[in-house]
Amino acid sequence: MTLDAFIDALPKVELHVHLVGSASVPTVLELSRRHPGGPVPSTEEELRRFYTFRDFPHFAQVYRAVNALVREPEDVATLVLGLARDLAPQGARYVELQVTPYAHHVVGMPMREVTEALDLAARRSLSDHGVEMAYIFDIPGEYGDEAAKVTVEHALQEPPAALVGFGIGGIEQERPKYRDAYRSAFSAARAAGLHSVPHGGEMSGPETIWEVIEGYGAERIGHGINCLADPRLVAHLRDTQLPLDVCPTSNLRTGQIARIEDHPLPRMLEEGLYVTLNSDDPPMFATTLAEEYRVAAHTFGFGRQELAQLSRNGVQASYLAQERKQALLKEIDDLLAAQGA
């Protein structure tokens, strides 16, 4: 088996992917034909040109245009099922999908109807595609107190059955203005039994990572790539083995690194940090979950053992039931054994 074939066959979990950012061309075509007349092309050829990544401002334009197509609970379910369909051929078995309830609230979708759409989509993702779907509700960090209130109310009052975590994304530099609201929201979510999985240290420095650790009780952190600037933080992350969900191509597309070869993933592993590999907004960044493993292999020189360990890290850092974790870990070990690795 070639290394690329091994990557395709490797059982995987996806722990850091966003609902709207996961929308591939076939999914967006379905939405644009359902809601014609907007800024999103409704023919495949035009849509592929529109979708081709150019730079970060263009990505933001595409993201806003696709987000504007999500107008009804049925559209939410379409996005979830599209992601399951796209991930299944990549060896993905389980996903923790980041959903932003505030985006649905502002267009008038009732909480209960959004939750029913998420529940239906989770059931069909498993039955139709063999992909188990869980959800993380995240606050868009630039929208402040109202976004925090709406997100935590939805999480506590009308949660989907597969809700496992509570997060925050968006522009990290805006968060200090709303520090108390965000800390309070995370405190309430954690008290209700949800896991704390905020973004931190992607577009800002170690201070944001310290804030999500100390202020939000982070159990896993999205990105965290700028931790290396603070030796004390690196030591803390190494000692606690707090997982960092790393998305190399995303960091390139958003301008956090100049070249993929400059990504800190190899150094993070050399420092003994706990890293998982993920895709973030894959179609919009011209990547896939499997492609992130190819980057690890062909750019950073990782072999089968290292790739399998990244997959194991994802399984162990997930909020899957323990028996499901053990089954997936056995699949990974069996694949390695079959390769004589």
**163 forms bridges with which residues in the sheet?**
135
Q: Where are the alpha helices (DSSP H) in the chain?
A: 3-9, 25-34, 44-51, 56-67, 73-87, 101-105, 111-129, 144-157, 179-191, 206-214, 231-240, 248-253, 265-270, 289-298, 304-317, 322-338
The answer to whether residue 202 is catalytic is yes
CA angle 116, 22, 196 (to 5 degrees): 70
Catalytic residue among 202, 270, 306, 323: 202
Tell me how far apart the alpha carbons of residues 132 and 156 are, in angstroms, rounded to a whole number.
22
Q: Which of 177, 272, 264 has its CA nearest to residue 225?
A: 264
Q: How many CB atoms lie within 10 A of CB 130?
A: 12
Tell me how far apart the alpha carbons of residues 119 and 259 are, in angstroms, rounded to a whole number.
40
Which two three-digit tokens encode residue 169?
């994304």
**275 forms bridges with which residues in the sheet?**
244
> Would you call 47 helix, strand, or coil by DSSP?
helix
Active site members: 202
